């Protein structure tokens, strides 16, 4: 079962790299913000999988929840900031 979790984590890491391409070459700022949010979401899942691999699920779930909350709040803050910045133009 650990091999499955490890393979899934590696596959998600590859998807994070593909999302990183969208962050760098995105057509506009809101697409880049969504790509950063996708990277954060995949990171939360990867952290949970690492917890399953090491047998310390309770610790990694706490870390994942804290990271998910920070990811959500920072995405909202960035979207609000850039929305106001475009409205001021």
- Give the separation between CA 33 and CA 30, rounded to whole angstroms: 5
Neighbours of 36 (CB within 10 A): 19
- Domain range holding 55? 2-87
Determine the pLDDT at residue 85. Answer: 79
pTM: 0.85
Q: Can you list the positions of beta strands (E) in the chain?
A: none
- Give the separation between CA 17 and CA 7, rounded to whole angstroms: 16
SS3 52: helix
Residue written as token pair 């850039």 = 82
Determine the pLDDT at residue 77. Answer: 94
Domain count, the chain: 1
Q: pLDDT (tens digit, 9 = 90+) per residue, 26-61?
A: 888 889 999 999 999 999 999 999 999 999 999 999
Q: Are 39 and 16 in contact (CB under 8 A)?
A: yes
């Amino acid at each position: 079962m650990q091999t499955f979790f490890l393979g899934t984590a590696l596959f998600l890491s590859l998807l994070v790299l593909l999302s990183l391409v969208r962050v760098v070459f995105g057509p506009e700022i809101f697409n880049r913000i969504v790509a950063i949010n996708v990277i954060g979401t995949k990171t939360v899942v990867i952290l949970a999988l690492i917890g399953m691999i090491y047998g310390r699920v309770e610790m990694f779930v706490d870390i994942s929840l804290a990271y998910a909350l920070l990811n959500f709040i920072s995405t909202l803050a960035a979207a609000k900031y850039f929305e106001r910045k475009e409205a001021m133009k």
